[in-house]
Structure 1
Amino acid sequence: MNIKVSIIIPFYNCPFIGQAIYSALNQTYSNIEVIVVNDGSTIHQSNIHKIRKMKPFRYFEKRNGGAASALNMGIKNATGKYIAWLSSDDLFERSKIEKQVLFMQQRNLSISHTNYSIINKAGSITNPRAGTSYAHRKIFSKNLLKTCFINGCTVMMRADIFKKIGFFDEKLIYAHDYDFWLRAVQYYTFGYINQPLTRYRYHEGMGSVKNNTALVQEANRIRTKYSPIIKNFFNKR
C-alpha cells in the first residue's frame, strides 16, 4: 500500500493553520504531500513560514478568490493518486490517511468519507461522533438533497474524479462542497468509515457561522438545481 495522497489545505487569515498543517504532516501514513494554498491572507502567515522547510510540504500563494479556487489550485498542483482536503481550522487524527487509504483499496472505492468529532476553539471535544451516512446509494442521495451531511474534511477521493465531473465551482462562495457531492453521487458510491478520524473545529470566527444566512441561501439554490437531476437519475435505474 504505497499510494501517494495529496492533502490540500486552503488558508485564509486563520489562526489555527499551524495546528492543521502539523496534524497533516504527522500522519502514520508516510506517502503524502501536504499542499497549503494561501488564498490572499493578510494575517497569520507567520504560522506557515516556520513550517515551510518541513517535508513533504508544498506552498502556493494566490490572490483571494475563495475556498473553491484555493482547493482547485491545490488539486491542480497535486501529484497524489488520492486527494484529501483539510480546512485550516480542523485537524486529522494521526491514522486518518492510513485507515482511509486501506478502506478504499479494499473496497475499490473512488470516494469515501468518515465520521468526525467536533471540537471547540480550545480544541476540546464537544461531540465525539457527529457524522452520519446511509448505506444504500439511493437513500444516501435522497438525504443528501435534504442536507449536506458530508463533512468535506473527512473526504478522500481519487484524483481522476476531477477529470470526470470537473473541479469545485469557483462561483460558489460557501457551498461549493455541497455542489460537488451532488455531482459526484451521480457517478460514484460514497464509502463510509464509521470512525471519527477528523476533528472539526466549531468557533465564532468560522465562515459558516459568520455567513450562515448566505450559506443557507446558496445551498438552497444548489438543492433546487440538482433535485430534478438526481431524482430523474435514480428513477431511470
Structure 2
Amino acid sequence: MTGPLVTIVIPFYNCPYIDQAIQSALSQSYDQLEVIVVDDGSTQQVDRIEPYLPYIKYLSKRNGGTATALNHGIIHASGEYVAWLSSDDKFYPAKINNQVLFMQKHRAYISSTNFNLMDATSNVTIANAGATFSNIKDFYSCFKQGNPINGCTIMMRKELFSFVGLFDEGLPYTHDFDLWYRVLLDGFDFPFLNQSLTAYRIHDGMGTLKHQTTIEQEIVATKARYFDRYVQLLQRIGC
C-alpha cells in the first residue's frame, strides 16, 4: 500500500555536513519522498550537494535566514506531510516511515519525536536526549519556561500552515518556538513519538552556540508575546 508523499525540507547555508544530511534523507526506508534543499545564499560547501542533484529538488535564494529557507521549501513542497531536517543533522532510516504511521494513527496535524545527540564526527554522545512528559499538562506547562521541542523531530501536514501560518521570518532563532505556540493556541494536538529518529549534531560552528545570548533574548520576547493568551489556555485545560 502506497503511503502519502512526504517532503523533507533541508535549509542550507555554508554547512560542511550538508552531504550527510542529504544522504540520510535519501536513505529512508519510506519511498514516497521528495527532498528539497533550499540554498539560502551559500558561498561555501555548495560542491557537496552536486552528487545529489539528480535525486533532490534544489532551490536557491538570497540569504535571509532559516525561517525564510524553510518557508521557501514549504511553499514549493508537493508532499501531504512536511519534515524539517537541518543541514548539520541526520535522520535515521525509519524516521519518515514510523512518524507517518504515528501521525495517521493519531490523526495529527503535527507531531514530534525523541532524538539522539551526536558529535562532529557523528558519534552518538547521548541517546534519547529529548524532553519527555508523564502527562499532557506537564507538556503544556513546559512552554512557560522555554522550547521543549527539537524542530528537526517535527513532522507536519502541509495543510497545517493554512491554519496557523508559516514560520515568522522576522525571528532568526525562535521561529520554531513561535510556531509551536501558534499551533497550541489554535487548539491542535501535539503528540509525541518516544523513538529517537533524528541525530542532532553538537559542534563548534552551530548557531545555537555562536548566538546564544541573542537566542536567549529572543526566547524571552517570544514568551512575552504569547504570555497572556497562553496563561488563559493553561487555565482552560487545568494547568
TM-score bracket relative to the smaller structure: over 0.9
**Whole-Å Cα distance in 1 between the matches of residues 207 and 91 of structure 2?**
20
Deviation per CA, 1:65-114: give whole Å up to 9, x if none.
00000000000000101110000000000000000000111111111100
Matched, 1:198 2:165: no
- Name the SS of the counterpart of 2:198 in structure 1: strand
**Whole-Å Cα distance in 2 between the matches of residues 139 and 226 of structure 1?**
18
Runs of 4+ that moved beyond 2 A: 133-139, 233-237
- Name the SS of the counterpart of 1:53 in structure 2: helix
Unaligned stretches of 5+ residues in structure 2: none
**Whole-Å Cα distance in 2 between the matches of residues 201 and 234 of structure 1?**
33
The two structures have a TM-score, normalised by structure 2, of 0.95
Report what 1:15 is aligned to. 16
**Whole-Å Cα distance in 1 between the matches of residues 9 and 116 of structure 2?**
20
Higher deviation after alignment, 60-69 or 226-235: 226-235
Q: Which amino acid aligns with 1:145?
A: K
Distance 1:135 1:75, change over 3 A: farther
Higher deviation after alignment, 140-149 or 156-165: 140-149
Q: Which amino acid aligns with 1:19?
A: Q
The two structures have a TM-score, normalised by structure 1, of 0.96
Alignment of 1:16-165 (within 5 A): 16-54=17-55, 57-134=56-133, 136-165=135-164
**Whole-Å Cα distance in 2 between the matches of residues 226 and 135 of structure 1?**
24
| Identity value in percent | 44
Aligned residues: 235
Alpha carbons 2:66, 2:172 under 8 Å: kept: yes
Report what 2:209 is aligned to. 209
Unaligned stretches of 5+ residues in structure 1: none
> What is the deviation of 1:135?
5.5
- Name the SS of the counterpart of 2:199 in structure 1: strand
> What is the deviation of 1:235?
2.5
**Whole-Å Cα distance in 2 between the matches of residues 19 and 157 of structure 1?**
23
**Whole-Å Cα distance in 1 between the matches of residues 15 and 76 of structure 2?**
22
Q: What RMSD in Å do the two structures reach over aligned CA positions? A: 1.1
